[in-house]
Amino acid sequence: MLAVVAVAAPSALAVPEGKAVAVQSLAGGAKRITYKIGPFDVTPGQNRIGYELITQRPQVDGYITRIKPNLTYLDGRVPGVDVIHLHHAVWVNTSRVGATGNAAGFPVELFFAAGEEKTRMLLPKGYGYPLKKTDRLVLNHMIHNLTPVPTQVYMTYQVDFVPKGSQAARGMRPVRPIWMDVRKGDLYPVFNVRKGSGGNGRFTYPDEAKKPYRGGPRRNRWVVDRPGVLVATAGHLHPGGLYTDLKVRRGRKTARLFRSRAKYFEPAGAVSWDVAMTATRPDWRVKLRKGDVLSVNATYDTTRGAWWESMGIMVAFMANDGPGDNPFKTKVDGPGVVTHGHLPENDNHGGGPSSLPDPRRLPDGPENPGFVDLVNFRYQLGDLSLADPVRNPPVIRPGQALTFRDAGDDANGIYHSITSCRAPCNRATGIAYPIADGDVQFESGTLGSANPPATGSLQWTTPSNLASGTYTYFCRIHPFMRGAFRVKQ
């Protein structure tokens, strides 16, 4: 998620707002400015990490106090999340080094991020992220096309900007971003959550993971480098996520500073992107000392399904001075504020009737074919969208295995997965269906020869210890893809 590259500084622009598409005046000389970055050409089935120089930004020194992100088609419509998905967008200041260390090996500062939950950043009054007109900004993005249909989109963001020297800038306290990530430093900082793992139907990473860092440094921690005051934070999770926790340890004492909860508008519960995270309230202030240890963890529900390639991130903002509470004397972990309500792009929940057959009722397909090729968004044997006889589940015997191989799509940069789902797994596709809820769990990872998010492998073999039965699966990257195979004596 956090890969970045060095880029040249953008040239100065005559318009102070810098290619703004809308400008609204606020009190004291501040401005609410809307920008759109792109357009981006989204290829069929796209699911890759990309980079874009941000020239659409304020062209004078000042402070950012609010950011609201979105993704739109060229005509301004917001795509449905079941069609075009914003896996992530990270705003990177390549002119500064991040407080919590390098991002995937690059000495840069990550100052804002959004995923499909589209969390909005709002700093309390009197605080702002300082931005210089000479700062070099890059957008690290991963725009995911869940369909075989190409399109074009803009990444939009609306900022409240306070120009330096304006009345609104008087007494402004600068803040720096404190990027807390349970997999901090990874090029693609994800972890897997298995169905049924953890305790009481919940799994917390890294606390309940087995050797999450393989004996290395605990990447979810940061030692405070100088005294300061935390003024705001919010979390980032994937579907299935319940909350992220930000904690501080001082000596032998530990205090929770904030729990950013996922509020699901999804009727089916914690299984889709129809969600908003809570952020701290405007009066939240926490004083930290040099040497304090901040940590973050992420908790997922494990009763409904597995959550492959999950994330747990909290971005906090810290001022060098100002009033604040001692978290070991005052309870600071109060209720948060949801940053937005239900978004209409999440209206297609899925799970209704479809034309796909029940694979359990289909005749046997070819016996022990050895390979199932993936070409043109189809599992070439056992794909439920195909016609007889190739859609009939191929058959293997107990103790045998079936190998899936990408036989053509990866040449076009199209990645796939084989992810178990509960039979018959044939309902209509939407943001809440299908999910990785197979009674028997198996997962190929993201097949592809490129760098993350792909695993680097173009094939995957099923477990050889499967009991007799019909097994159904789908592609996490393109959920309309469904298939089945059969184990039979």
The whole-number pLDDT of residue 412 equals 87
Of 88-97, 235-244, 314-323, 403-412, give the lowest mean pLDDT range. 403-412
Tokens 């504020």, located at residue: 337
Q: How far apart are CA 49 and CA 40, in angstroms?
A: 12
Residue 4 pLDDT exceeds 70? no
Q: Quick one: average pLDDT of 404-420?
A: 93
Q: Quick one: average pLDDT of 118-128?
A: 96
pTM for this prediction:
0.94
Q: How far apart are CA 296 and CA 259, in angstroms?
A: 10
Model confidence at 397, in pLDDT bands (50, 70, 90)? very high
Helix (H, G, I), strand (E, B) or coil at 53: strand
Q: Quick one: average pLDDT of 446-467?
A: 93
Q: Quick one: average pLDDT of 154-169?
A: 97
Model confidence at 120, in pLDDT bands (50, 70, 90)? very high
- Least Cα distance to 180 among 219, 228, 139, 238 occurs for 219
Of 26-35, 93-102, 153-162, 285-294, give the lowest mean pLDDT range. 93-102
Identify the DSSP state of 79. P
The whole-number pLDDT of residue 5 equals 32
Q: How far apart are CA 376 and CA 378, in angstroms?
A: 5
Q: Quick one: average pLDDT of 392-396?
A: 98
The whole-number pLDDT of residue 9 equals 32
Residue 472 pLDDT exceeds 60? yes
Q: Do residues 299 and 225 touch, judged by C-beta distance below 8 A?
A: no
- Strand 403-406 relative to strand 371-375: parallel, antiparallel, unpaired? parallel
Strands in 83-168 per DSSP E: 84-93, 109-114, 121-122, 127-131, 137-145, 151-163
Task: Kindly report, residue by residue over 317-359, the tens digit of the pLDDT.
Answer: 999 999 999 999 999 999 999 999 999 999 999 999 999 999 9
Domains of the chain (ranges plus CATH)?
22-346 (no CATH), 350-489 (2.60.40.420)
Cα maximum dimension of the chain: 79
The whole-number pLDDT of residue 7 equals 32
Burial 254-267 (b: 16+ CB within 10 A, else e): ebebbbbbbbbebe
CA distances 171 to 127, 167, 346, 418, Å, are 9, 9, 41, 55
Dihedral (Cα; 448, 452, 456, 461), 10-degree rounding: -70
The gap between the terminal CA atoms of the chain, to the nearest Å, is 44
Q: Quick one: average pLDDT of 6-20?
A: 48
- Least Cα distance to 22 among 37, 40, 13, 35 occurs for 35
Q: Do residues 476 and 419 touch, judged by C-beta distance below 8 A?
A: yes
- DSSP string for 212-238: TTTTS--TTEEE--S-EEEEEEEEEE-
Helix (H, G, I), strand (E, B) or coil at 465: coil
Q: Residue 465 class from Cβ within 10 Å (0-12 exposed, 13-18 middle, 19+ buried)?
A: exposed
Strands in 101-136 per DSSP E: 109-114, 121-122, 127-131
Residue 313 pLDDT exceeds 70? yes
Q: Do residues 157 and 35 touch, judged by C-beta distance below 8 A?
A: yes
The whole-number pLDDT of residue 441 equals 97
- Least Cα distance to 365 among 350, 381, 380, 379 occurs for 381
The whole-number pLDDT of residue 6 equals 31
The whole-number pLDDT of residue 13 equals 31
Residue 3 pLDDT exceeds 80? no
- Strand 137-145 relative to strand 221-223: parallel, antiparallel, unpaired? unpaired
- DSSP string for 323-350: --B-TTTS------EES----GGG----
The tokens for 200 are 């009481």
The whole-number pLDDT of residue 106 equals 77
Q: How far apart are CA 71 and CA 143, in angstroms?
A: 9
Q: How far apart are CA 486 and CA 470, in angstroms?
A: 4
Strands in 342-402 per DSSP E: 371-375, 378-379, 395-396
Q: Do residues 103 and 189 touch, judged by C-beta distance below 8 A?
A: no
Residue 165 pLDDT exceeds 90? yes
Q: Quick one: average pLDDT of 159-181?
A: 97
Q: Residue 133 class from Cβ within 10 Å (0-12 exposed, 13-18 middle, 19+ buried)?
A: middle
Identify the DSSP state of 479. T
The neighbour count for residue 165, using CB atoms within 10 Å, is 12
Residue 103 main-chain phi, psi, to 5 deg: -100, 105
Q: How far apart are CA 38 and CA 22, in angstroms?
A: 16
Model confidence at 24, in pLDDT bands (50, 70, 90)? very high
Model confidence at 253, in pLDDT bands (50, 70, 90)? very high
Residue 456 pLDDT exceeds 50? yes
Beta bridge partners of 406: 374
Q: Quick one: average pLDDT of 213-231?
A: 96
Residue 158 pLDDT exceeds 80? yes
Q: Quick one: average pLDDT of 366-394?
A: 96
Residue 387 pLDDT exceeds 60? yes
Q: How far apart are CA 454 and CA 436, in angstroms?
A: 18
The whole-number pLDDT of residue 102 equals 67
The whole-number pLDDT of residue 16 equals 62
Q: How far apart are CA 322 and CA 424, in angstroms?
A: 58
Q: Do residues 398 and 487 touch, judged by C-beta distance below 8 A?
A: yes
114: amino acid identity, one letter: A
- Least Cα distance to 346 among 276, 261, 241 occurs for 276
